[in-house]
A and B are shown apart, each in its own frame.
Chain A
Amino acid sequence: MRLYPRMKEALERAWRDHGARVYAYLVRMTGDRTLSEELCQETFVRYWRHRKGIRNENGALAPWLYRVATRLVLDDRRRRAPVRLEHEPAVPAEAEDRVETRELRGRVRLEIARLPAELRATFLLRAHQELTFPQIADATGVSERAAKDRFRRARDSLLRSLAPLIREIRS
């Protein structure tokens, strides 16, 4: 079945406004580009199927998309073995990066990947996707207070695990 031009335009607009960010979030969550593509597609198709019940004003669509994307990742992780990010970097290193920078980025990715999934989702939604805490609470299905608490735990865990590396490289 073909989509009417007006309907097609609405879906394309949602993809244009949020697609790249949702895809990037999925890659950071899973460390797997192929899987992220599949989950991203499912996220937007679900948006399309439920579009009439979704408020699309005041930035309400973004938390809805991240909520679906997060749920898809968590459900998928229960079905499959965890991704081994040590051997499959989520993002290829830039050629011009210095060795230290590449090493640091690799360690940061690894430590983020080691976080429990709920903490990782909260951290990424705040630090990389730049959602507000009310939006994160909406996206992850917890209270705003719980979202802040999860974020602090994730951030403090990363700071603790990466601080020695920073000191080592600086010395």
Chain B
Amino acid sequence: MTCQETLRNLTDREDGLLSPEVAADLDEHLAECPPCAGQARDLRALRALIYEAEAVDPPRGLGDRIVATAAARETFRIPAPLSYAAAFLAGVVLTLALTARSEPTPFADGEATPAVTTAPPPEPEPFELSARIRVPRRIR
């Protein structure tokens, strides 16, 4: 393991990114290389600094405002099974309405259904000549 690899592996180990085998090689190198061991100490200090998370507290009342906003944006939704049932019922009603319009008007109970009269078509009125037809002489 080179010195450059050592420094990279050092931070990787701190972050849980190094396999146990490479970690063993790293320790071996640090034990034999004083400059790397010194840099390792600096790196640990620097890493601790940049990983340090300063406390940041949320403003008071933010949780209550979130609940209020969620409530304000909450809209009433029909549950899915109910919406399917409503769609089915609407379909049934529409079908019934269309069917009722195409059938003859039903008669009230007890009322006689009028007989269908099949009267013959009216006779044509007799044709009357209103003027005398003139026949040419040659034919006569």
| Chain B: minimal CB distance from A145 (Å) | 11
Q: 1/0 per position for A89-119, CB-CB distance to B under 8 A?
A: 0110000000000001100100110000000
Size category, B interface: 20 to 34
How many A-B residue contacts, CB cutoff 8 Å? 106
For residue B71, which residues in chain A have a CB less than 8 angstroms away from its CB? 1-3, 8
**In the complex, are the beta carbons of B67 and A151 less than 8 A apart?**
no
Interface with A: B29-37, B58-66, B92-100, B101-109, which one?
B58-66
Give Cα A6 to B105, complex, Å. 55
For residue A131, which residues in chain B have a CB less than 8 angstroms away from its CB? none
Q: A12-B67, A45-B69 are in contact. Are A162 and B15 (CB under 8 A)?
A: no
Which residues of chain A (119-171) have a CB below 8 Å from chain B? 126-128, 148, 151-152, 155-156, 158-159, 162-163, 166-167, 170
Give Cα A159 to B75, complex, Å. 50
Give Cα A20 to B59, complex, Å. 9
For residue A41, which residues in chain B have a CB less than 8 angstroms away from its CB? 62, 65-66, 69
For the residues of B in contact with A, the DSSP-based class is: helix
A73 at interface by CB-CB < 8 Å? no
Size category, A interface: 35 or more
**In the complex, are the beta carbons of A16 and B63 less than 8 A apart?**
yes
Give Cα A20 to B63, complex, Å. 10
For residue B53, which residues in chain A have a CB less than 8 angstroms away from its CB? 24, 28, 127-128
Q: 1/0 per position for B39-75, CB-CB distance to A under 8 A?
A: 0001101110111111111110011011101111111
Q: Identify B50's interface contact among A24, A27, A45, A162, CB under 8 A.
A: A162
Give Cα A2 to B49, complex, Å. 46
**In the complex, are the beta carbons of B62 and A163 less than 8 A apart?**
no
Q: 1/0 per position for A44-75, CB-CB distance to B under 8 A?
A: 11001100000000000000000000000000
Closest to A8 in B: B67
For residue B63, which residues in chain A have a CB less than 8 angstroms away from its CB? 12, 15-16, 19
B76 at interface by CB-CB < 8 Å? yes
A76 at interface by CB-CB < 8 Å? no
A11 at interface by CB-CB < 8 Å? yes
Q: A148-B17, A152-B12, A152-B17 are in contact. Are A158 and B50 (CB under 8 A)?
A: yes
Closest to B63 in A: A15
By Cβ-Cβ distance, the 6 closest A-B pairs, closest first, are A24-B56, A128-B53, A23-B58, A48-B70, A127-B51, A15-B63
Known contacts A3-B67, A45-B73; 10 further A-B pairs (Cβ under 8 A): A8-B71, A19-B58, A20-B57, A24-B53, A37-B62, A41-B66, A45-B69, A128-B53, A158-B50, A166-B45
Q: Which residues of B contact A (CB under 8 A)?
A: 8, 11-12, 15, 17, 42-43, 45-47, 49-59, 62-63, 65-67, 69-76
